[in-house]
């Protein structure tokens, strides 16, 4: 038997499994599938074509002691898959919403805390835990068991190895691994799969080689990249990400 509030809005052709709870002020788009025992809490907005598997809790209250019951939201895009026992919390008065973009895959037991912003095509492997106020850009992939510190930012097309602790910001296009988390190369295979030209990939590799290996420190590396490389969209994205980082970016390999 389901517990679906009469004011919940459920789109055309959406299927609801057994023992599902859907509270008031919930909007679910068309062609969604909600698995058995899932719970969808007030303030949740779900796009079209989403799949929410058994036992997921979507739109729960923020786990923040400053939260005092304000009206906040969780916004989920189209074609998002949320696997078994995921938990996703709504926002607080910081951003008033948590956002998951389009075409994301959240594997089993992942947790996304309050005020996080995930872009499109993000993949969180099993048991990834994301603290509050984290931003993850498009096409980032986080390996299983990764933990992300609050307020951290992860750039687009990043690949992070399983079991990592993300304490600093991770700039776009890179692979990150080890402890402490470090630059271990450019995510060239991922970029190839997404249609990046080999010359562009080579240019990105040369920029990060300058930042992390040839220059004496990251600040000097940024200056060197600015002076040595032509202005391109990927150069702008790398330099803007680094200059806007509030936590500082991860370091290069030290051994």
Catalytic residue among 111, 114, 121, 234: 114
* Cβ atoms of 206 and 219 closer than 8 Å: no
Catalytic residue among 91, 132, 143, 221: 132
Burial of 95-126, coded b for 16+ CB within 10 Å and e otherwise, reads bebbbbbbbbbbbbbbbbbbbbbbbbbbbbbb
* Cβ atoms of 187 and 174 closer than 8 Å: yes
Distance CA 2, CA 17 (A): 8
64 is catalytic: no
- What kind and span of H or E run contains 182? strand 182-186
Report DSSP state, residue 249: B
59 is catalytic: no
- Dihedral sign for Cα 226, 250, 140, 189, please: positive
Computed over its alpha carbons, how large is the radius of gyration of the chain? 20
Distance CA 152, CA 133 (A): 7
CA atoms within 13 A on the CB side of 193: 7
114 is catalytic: yes
Distance CA 127, CA 119 (A): 19
Catalytic residue among 78, 115, 137, 169: 115
Which residues are part of the catalytic machinery? 114-115, 132
């Amino acid at each position: 038997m389901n517990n679906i509030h009469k004011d919940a809005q459920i789109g055309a052709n959406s299927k609801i499994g057994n023992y599902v709870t859907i509270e008031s002020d919930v909007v679910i788009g068309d062609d969604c599938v909600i698995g058995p025992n899932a719970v969808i809490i007030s303030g949740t907005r779900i796009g079209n074509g989403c799949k929410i598997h058994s036992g997921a809790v979507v739109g729960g209250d923020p786990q923040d002691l400053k939260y005092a019951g304000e009206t906040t939201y969780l916004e989920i895009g189209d074609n998002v898959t949320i696997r078994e026992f995921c938990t996703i919390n709504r926002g607080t008065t910081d951003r008033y919403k948590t956002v998951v973009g389009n075409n994301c895959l959240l594997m089993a037991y992942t947790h996304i805390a309050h005020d996080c912003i995930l872009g499109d095509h993000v993949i969180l492997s099993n048991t990834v835990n994301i603290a509050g106020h984290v931003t993850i850009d498009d096409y980032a992939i986080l390996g299983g068991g990764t933990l992300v510190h609050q307020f951290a930012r992860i750039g687009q097309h990043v690949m992070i190895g399983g079991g990592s602790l993300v304490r600093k910001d991770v700039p776009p296009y890179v692979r990150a691994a080890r402890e402490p988390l470090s630059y271990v190369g450019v995510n060239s295979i991922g970029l190839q799969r997404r249609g990046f030209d080999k010359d562009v990939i080579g240019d990105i590799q040369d920029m990060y080689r300058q930042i992390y290996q040839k220059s004496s420190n990251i600040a000097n590396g940024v200056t060197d990249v600015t002076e040595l490389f032509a202005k391109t969209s990927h150069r702008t994205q790398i330099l803007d990400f680094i200059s806007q980082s509030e936590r500082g970016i991860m370091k290069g390999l030290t051994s």
